[in-house]
């Protein structure tokens, strides 16, 4: 379930420095990076007329290398710069281009635009006129590529510091950066590609990848596949939805502890009493539709006392605000922005930093959900999901995610893995459900989403 590495600007510089210390040639690395990017651009654009915008740093250096390689392939290439090259490698790449360099502010547009203005060295937003020119040139192009990062996005936070156009492709060099995955920056790129530049990029933060799932073995029975208990409460629909998701996530059996008489899927066993002592329970979910009154608090306390692997969502998280020491070690928490704030307050740094800090503080796996979801473990591992369907912004989808976490936890017994699989399945079910779906439709899309990963 873990994909390519996600490095901050400083971590990327350290990885490059380690490569240089080990004897990798400075300019050679730029040639490798430029060649990797040029290969992707060539596949997309072939001989379309191309304008490459080169900035003053090494990102611009990559641009000059790309320009030279594409020209050697017979592509009609023009280069337009924003100032002189200031780095030794950039200057060398500029000299090796050996063609004219126009002024970016007056250069005519082309069918294909390559943005090599700024990458991880961006220190502030682009000047207004420069950003507007970038947007105009991108708007006039049919194909647009950002080298390493779209110029104007902050590498580590994913903030947008100045006007940035939409890019067809972004070619991440060597590793993903947080801005490739975190919103709003992630939203300006349609297709994200990772180019290998041949250096080691160690780190514990990765992009969330499609998981490898397993079918039940031949001797499986409902308890061996995992029993999930879902604690209901004031709003029975939410818990029923979560229970349905847990069942569709591959658990062998789901028990919903809720008031009798409500409509629930036939496969789910309803049990009115809160007897959560069954030792066969492999995952317990509490929160969706729980309510926040004294009775809800009591049900939460009983659930926590049962000592099973636990998923805490929605009202359970609100009830635990100010009391994170009550969160059992190894639990999965699934807060949205508001719940996260209530639980952990204003933490510094990017969404990845905040998720990691929350996981450390709580000792739980934190699924910090949203348009970008970060799954963080107390040991420092994190997986970042890019771009789920915006149609997920509808009532009940959070209950489905919580149910998926519980279902996968019952199956795998590993909270970090379960949370990653759940987030991925949730996003994939949404993709398959298409547009304007309701949360219930996600359940119907889950079997095919799972089948595709066996």
Ligand X SMILES: NC(=O)C1=CN([C@@H]2O[C@H](COP(=O)(O)OP(=O)(O)OC[C@H]3O[C@@H](n4cnc5c(N)ncnc54)[C@H](O)[C@@H]3O)[C@@H](O)[C@H]2O)[C@@H](O)CC1
Helix, strand, coil percentages in the chain from 3-state DSSP, rounded to 5: 40, 20, 40
108 alpha carbon, distance to own chain's centre:
36
Token code pair at residue 97: 């281009």
Provide, rounded to whole angstroms, the least separation between the CB of residue 352 and ligand X: 19
Among 46, 47, 86, 191, binds ligand X (CB under 6 A): 86
| φ, ψ dihedrals at 103, nearest 5° | -90, 130
3-state secondary structure of 347: coil
Provide, rounded to whole angstroms, the least separation between the CB of residue 166 and ligand X: 20
Selected range binding K ion among 150-158, 171-179, 308-316, 356-364, rule: CB under 5 A:
150-158
Nearer to ligand X, 124 or 222 (CB): 124
Strand bridging mode 205-208 / 2-5: antiparallel
3-state secondary structure of 221: coil
Q: Please, is 127 exposed, middle or buried when counting C-beta atoms within 10 Å of its C-beta (0-12, 13-18, 19+)?
A: exposed
The DSSP letter of residue 363 is S
The span from the first CA to the last CA of the chain, in angstroms, equals 13
Is 369 annotated as belonging to a binding site? Answer: yes
Nearer to ligand X, 124 or 191 (CB): 124
Among 26, 49, 102, 274, binds ligand X (CB under 6 A): 26
Query: How far is the CA of 214 from the CAs of 259, 414, 421, in angstroms?
Result: 34, 14, 12
Provide, rounded to whole angstroms, the least separation between the CB of residue 118 and K ion: 6
Is 129 annotated as belonging to a binding site? Answer: no
Among 16, 31, 62, 115, binds K ion (CB under 5 A): 115
Query: How far is the CA of 252 from the CAs of 54, 207, 260, 408, in angstroms?
Result: 57, 29, 22, 11
Provide, rounded to whole angstroms, the least separation between the CB of residue 165 and K ion: 11
String of contacts with ligand X for each residue 228-267, x by CB under 6 A: ----------------------------------------
User: How many residues form the binding site for ligand X (CB under 6 A)?
Assistant: 29
Is 115 annotated as belonging to a binding site? Answer: yes
Q: Any contact of residue 435 with ligand X (CB under 6 A)?
A: no
Known binding site for K(+): residues? 59, 115, 151
Known binding site for (6S)-NADPHX: residues? 58-62, 119-125, 148, 238, 289, 336, 399
Residues that bind ligand X (CB under 6 A): 16, 26, 29-30, 33, 55-62, 86-87, 89, 118-126, 147-148, 173, 197
């Amino acid at each position: 379930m873990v994909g390519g590495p996600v490095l901050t600007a400083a971590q990327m510089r350290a990885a490059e420095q380690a490569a240089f210390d080990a004897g990798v040639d400075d300019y050679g690395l730029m040639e490798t990076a430029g060649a990797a990017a040029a290969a992707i651009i060539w596949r997309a654009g072939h001989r379309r007329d191309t304008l490459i915008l080169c900035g003053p740093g090494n990102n611009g250096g990559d641009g000059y290398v790309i320009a030279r390689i594409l020209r050697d392939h017979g592509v009609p290439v023009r280069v337009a710069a924003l100032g002189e090259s200031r780095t030794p490698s950039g200057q060398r790449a500029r000299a090796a281009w050996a063609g004219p360099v126009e002024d970016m502010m007056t250069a005519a547009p082309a069918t294909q635009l390559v943005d090599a203005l700024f990458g991880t060295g961006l220190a502030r937003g682009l000047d207004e006129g420069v950003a507007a020119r970038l947007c105009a040139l991108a708007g006039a192009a049919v194909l647009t590529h950002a080298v390493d990062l779209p110029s104007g996005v902050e590498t580590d936070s994913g903030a947008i510091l100045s006007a940035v156009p939409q890019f067809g492709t972004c070619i991440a060099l060597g590793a993903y950066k947080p801005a490739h995955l975190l919103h709003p920056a992630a939203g300006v790129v349609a297709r994200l590609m990772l180019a290998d530049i041949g250096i080691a990029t160690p780190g514990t933060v990765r992009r969330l990848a499609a998981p490898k799932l397993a079918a039940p073995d031949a001797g499986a029975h409902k308890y061996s596949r995992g029993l999930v208990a879902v604690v209901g409460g004031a709003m029975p629909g939410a818990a029923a939805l979560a229970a349905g998701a847990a069942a569709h996530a591959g658990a062998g059996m789901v028990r919903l502890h809720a008031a009798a008489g409500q409509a629930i899927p036939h496969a789910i066993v309803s049990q009115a009493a809160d007897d959560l002592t069954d030792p066969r329970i492999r995952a317990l979910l509490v929160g969706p539709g729980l309510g926040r009154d004294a009775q809800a608090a009591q049900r939460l306390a009983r659930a926590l006392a049962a000592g099973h692997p636990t998923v805490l969502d929605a009202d359970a998280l609100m009830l635990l605000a100010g009391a994170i020491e009550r969160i059992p070690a190894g639990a999965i928490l699934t807060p949205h922005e508001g719940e996260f704030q209530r639980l952990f307050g204003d933490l510094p740094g990017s969404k990845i930093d905040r998720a990691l800090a929350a996981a450390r503080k709580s000792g739980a796996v934190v699924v910090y959900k949203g348009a970008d979801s970060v799954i963080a473990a107390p040991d420092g591992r994190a997986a970042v999901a890019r771009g789920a369907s915006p149609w997920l912004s509808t009532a009940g989808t959070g209950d489905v995610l919580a149910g998926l976490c519980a279902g996968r936890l019952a199956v795998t017994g590993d909270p970090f893995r379960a949370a990653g699989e759940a987030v991925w399945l949730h996003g994939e079910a949404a993709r398959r459900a298409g547009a304007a779906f309701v949360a219930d439709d996600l359940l119907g899309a889950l079997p095919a989403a799972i089948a595709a990963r066996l």
